[in-house]
Amino acid sequence: MESKKLNIITNVLSAKKLKITHQRIVVYQAVMETNKHPSAEQVFERIKDNNPSISLATVYKTLETFVENELINKVSSPGGTMRYDAKRKHHNHIYITNTNEILDYEDEELSKILMNYLNKKKFSNLNITDIKLQIKGEKVNPSKGISIT
């Protein structure tokens, strides 16, 4: 199963004509394995114990390469630093201001409503590439999670 996962990654990379390197595999895995929207620094922290030779600059560059190849997303956060997340289905973000977390909020119904509404508007000279909702809030109890019904 480890090798299966590895296989998926190598396929993804070669589909984008990217050289398959140990660094790229490790960084890609690190971003995929978490839903925590890590910063480059956090990706580096996550991988460095098992891969002490991978440098922070490489992590930055590798992440940037993935963004250019649309394998992951790069999002700005109210905290000021850039955060990365695995590119999956379209989703919105909830910024938790008191813990600096970014949560995903997936809501297909909402996306449809938004699409639908904005399509009726005419934006001249603008080519819209993405529409997402940005919810900002704070955890009432920072040590507990958030659930949505």
Which of 3, 50, 53, 147 binds DNA (CB under 7 A)? It is 53
Contact footprint for its own copies (CB under 8 A): 74-80, 82, 94, 96-97, 110, 113-114, 117-118, 121-141, 144-149
Which of 35, 55, 98, 134 binds DNA (CB under 7 A)? It is 55
From the list DNA, its own copies, none, which binds 126 (C-beta under 5 to 8 Å, kind-based)? its own copies
Which of 46, 62, 66, 72 binds DNA (CB under 7 A)? It is 62
Tokens, residue 6: 């590895």
CA distance 58 to 64: 10
Q: How far is CA 32 from CA 79, 143, 145, in A?
A: 22, 24, 21
Please report how many Cα atoms fall inside a 13 Å half-sphere around the Cα of residue 141, on the Cβ side: 5
From the list its own copies, DNA, none, which binds 35 (C-beta under 5 to 8 Å, kind-based)? none
- The angle formed by the CA atoms of residues 85, 142 and 42, to the nearest 5 degrees, is 30
Is residue 93 near DNA by the rule CB under 7 A? no
- Give the position of tokens 């990379």: 13
Residue ranges binding DNA (CB under 7 A): 14, 18-24, 39-41, 53-58, 60-62, 64-65, 80-82
